[in-house]
Amino acid sequence: MRIIITGGTGLIGSALARDLAGSGREVVVLTRDPAEARGLPPGVVAAGWDGRTADGWAHLASGAGAIVHLAGENIGAGRWTAERKRRIRDSRVRSGEAVLAAIRQAESRPPVLVQASAVGYYGPRGDEPVDESAPAGDDFLARVCVDWEAATAEAEALGVRRPVIRSGVVLAREGGALPKMLLPFRLFAGGPVGSGRQPISWIHLADEVGAIRHLLERGEARGPFNLTAPEPVSNREFARAAGRVLRRPSFLPAPAPALRLALGEMADMLLTGQRAVPKRLLELGYTFLFPRIEAALTDLLGKRRPHAA
């Protein structure tokens, strides 16, 4: 069975491609520069696309077993200028429109499309537990997520099953947010950000991949799913767990005014949050490998779990 992954050379996409290929699937990752997609595992091939249209790759969608649409510009790669905000939104919406165009053109349409999104869909929610029934927020990231999800919504009317994955902070040793989050701890300057009370909805990369596979394989899976560990933590709790695992101090705070001065509007990602819970994923029978933050960090950082005091 052929599975197409947009954003397949990114953190989540490359891990998913490796996992699917390892179980015998034919995996095609779409990339802007196939020649630069080096080191792909056996069973994974790269195909070119422009991120905006179905030109040159639409034929691959016909007869495919699934499309996993993960493409989108990194929201944490730089200060949110007006131009960067436009690119963040357009990279998600226009790539989604390209995926929908390929599905429309396919003689034999793929039966399932996994559509990426994020828990930012809900906007800042404080400590209120948020499941998939909660409405969208109204800040920049929430509006981006609403448009991101809507870009491929028509696929359902075309007979394509469409699970929508609202991912939390994906923790991985290979990249993403975790190395940046841990840098102050490695420099003996770690601690909570801002008040430390804001929730972090997180998920281990292995569970992100496992949950996506679960949604691909369960024919009844459609609609939104929070891809987050069942036990979100506060920023302060994350700092304490990171300090214990790394055996570093975890009490030096990063003041909110300094973050806003350095990062501008992007600081809101660090100073607010959502306590998203994976209600529908658990109801669908997914079992988490890493439901608790300290066990996840211990696994990712290659440290032995410390004895309880």
In whole angstroms, give the CA distance from residue 291 to residue 288: 6
Per-residue pLDDT, 256: 67
In whole angstroms, give the CA distance from residue 125 to residue 129: 8
Amino acid at 201: S
Q: Which residue has tokens 């806003």?
A: 260
Beta bridge partners of 129: 275
Per-residue pLDDT, 11: 92
Listed in sequence order, the residues at least 6 apart from 133 whose beta carbon sits closer than 8 Å to its beta carbon are none
Per-residue pLDDT, 195: 83
Q: What are the C-alpha distances in Å from 19 to residues 40, 65, 206, 229?
A: 12, 16, 10, 20
Q: H helices of 134-289, where?
A: 140-150, 178-186, 205-217, 235-246, 256-263, 268-271, 279-283
Angle at 122 between CA 161 and CA 201, to 5 degrees: 90
Among candidate residues 263, 88, 17, 278, the one with its CA nearest the CA of residue 166: 278
In whole angstroms, give the CA distance from residue 96 to residue 92: 6
pLDDT, averaged across the chain: 90
Residues in the chain: 309
Return the minimum-mean-pLDDT range out of 74-83, 149-158, 168-177: 74-83
Give residue-wise pLDDT tens across range 127-162. 889 999 999 999 999 999 999 999 999 999 999 999
Q: Rounded to 5 degrees, what are φ and ψ at 28?
A: -115, 120
Among candidate residues 278, 238, 241, the one with its CA nearest the CA of residue 129: 278
Among candidate residues 249, 247, 238, the one with its CA nearest the CA of residue 275: 238
Mean pLDDT of 75-86: 83
| Cα torsion angle, 254, 235, 294, 18, sign | negative
Domains (ranges, CATH) in the chain?
Answer: 2-170+204-228+274-286 (3.40.50.720)
Mean pLDDT of 266-271: 66
Mean pLDDT of 176-186: 85
Per-residue pLDDT, 71: 93
Per-residue pLDDT, 306: 42
* Cβ–Cβ < 8 Å for 227, 206: no
Q: Please give the model's pTM, rounded to 2 decimal places.
A: 0.93
Task: Name the percent of the chain lying above pLDDT 90.
Answer: 67
- Is residue 212 classed as helix, strand or coil in its secondary structure? helix
